[in-house]
Amino acid sequence: MFKFRRVRVVNIKVADADKDQLLNIALDAGAEDVIDPPTYEDDTDEDMAERYYKVVTSSENYSTVLSKLRDQGVNFEPDNGSELLPLSTVEVDDEAMELNKELMQKLLELDDVDAVYIDQK
Instruction: Tell me the angle at which helices 19-28 and 62-71 cross, rounded to the nearest 10 degrees.
Output: 130
* Domain edges within the chain: 4-86, 89-120
CATH of domain 4-86: 3.30.70.980
Q: At 79, is the secondary structure helix, strand, or coil?
A: coil
What's the pLDDT tens digit per position in 18-48?
889 999 999 999 999 998 887 777 777 777 7
What's the pLDDT tens digit per position in 71-98?
998 888 877 678 898 999 899 888 998 8
